[in-house]
Amino acid sequence: MIAIVITLIVIGILIYLEEKYLPIDAQFKQIIRWVVILCVVVWLLYQFGVLPLGKHDVPVPQLR
Protein backbone atom coordinates (compact mmCIF):
# COMPACT_ATOMS: atom_id res chain seq x y z
CA MET A 1 0.00 0.00 0.00
CA ILE A 2 2.85 2.38 0.78
CA ALA A 3 4.37 1.61 -2.63
CA ILE A 4 1.14 2.63 -4.34
CA VAL A 5 1.03 5.94 -2.45
CA ILE A 6 4.67 6.68 -3.26
CA THR A 7 4.09 5.83 -6.92
CA LEU A 8 1.09 8.19 -7.04
CA ILE A 9 3.14 10.98 -5.43
CA VAL A 10 5.94 10.53 -7.97
CA ILE A 11 3.45 10.55 -10.86
CA GLY A 12 1.85 13.72 -9.46
CA ILE A 13 5.23 15.43 -9.20
CA LEU A 14 6.08 14.44 -12.77
CA ILE A 15 2.76 15.80 -14.05
CA TYR A 16 3.36 19.04 -12.15
CA LEU A 17 6.86 19.40 -13.61
CA GLU A 18 5.54 18.70 -17.10
CA GLU A 19 2.82 21.33 -16.66
CA LYS A 20 5.19 23.93 -15.27
CA TYR A 21 8.41 23.56 -17.25
CA LEU A 22 7.77 21.96 -20.65
CA PRO A 23 7.33 24.66 -23.30
CA ILE A 24 4.67 22.93 -25.39
CA ASP A 25 1.17 23.87 -26.46
CA ALA A 26 -1.49 23.73 -23.75
CA GLN A 27 -3.60 21.31 -25.77
CA PHE A 28 -0.73 18.80 -25.90
CA LYS A 29 -0.19 19.19 -22.16
CA GLN A 30 -3.85 18.41 -21.59
CA ILE A 31 -3.64 15.30 -23.79
CA ILE A 32 -0.56 14.11 -21.89
CA ARG A 33 -2.30 14.74 -18.56
CA TRP A 34 -5.41 12.73 -19.56
CA VAL A 35 -3.37 9.84 -20.92
CA VAL A 36 -1.37 9.65 -17.69
CA ILE A 37 -4.53 9.83 -15.59
CA LEU A 38 -6.17 7.07 -17.64
CA CYS A 39 -3.09 4.85 -17.28
CA VAL A 40 -2.94 5.45 -13.52
CA VAL A 41 -6.65 4.64 -13.09
CA VAL A 42 -6.30 1.38 -15.04
CA TRP A 43 -3.16 0.49 -13.06
CA LEU A 44 -4.99 1.15 -9.76
CA LEU A 45 -7.94 -0.98 -10.86
CA TYR A 46 -5.53 -3.85 -11.55
CA GLN A 47 -3.78 -3.36 -8.21
CA PHE A 48 -7.00 -3.47 -6.21
CA GLY A 49 -8.35 -6.45 -8.13
CA VAL A 50 -11.24 -4.71 -9.85
CA LEU A 51 -9.93 -5.67 -13.29
CA PRO A 52 -9.00 -9.32 -13.78
CA LEU A 53 -5.32 -10.11 -14.00
CA GLY A 54 -4.23 -11.67 -17.24
CA LYS A 55 -1.01 -12.20 -19.09
CA HIS A 56 -0.09 -8.56 -18.65
CA ASP A 57 0.30 -8.12 -14.91
CA VAL A 58 1.33 -4.65 -13.83
CA PRO A 59 3.78 -5.09 -10.94
CA VAL A 60 3.74 -2.87 -7.88
CA PRO A 61 7.20 -1.58 -6.98
CA GLN A 62 8.53 -3.23 -3.83
CA LEU A 63 10.22 -1.09 -1.17
CA ARG A 64 12.92 -2.73 0.91
pLDDT band at 57 (very low <50, low <70, confident <90, very high): low
* Confidence band, pLDDT 50/70/90 cuts, at residue 56: low
CA 16, 18, 22, 26 torsion: positive or negative?
Answer: negative
Per-position DSSP letters for 14-51, written without gaps between them? HHHHHHHH--S-HHHHHHHHHHHHHHHHHHHHHHTTSS
Looking at residue 43, what is its pLDDT? 86
pLDDT at 26: 86
Tell me the average pLDDT across 49-63. 70
| Percent of the chain topping pLDDT 70 | 88
Q: Average pLDDT in the 26-55 region? A: 85
pLDDT of residue 62: 77
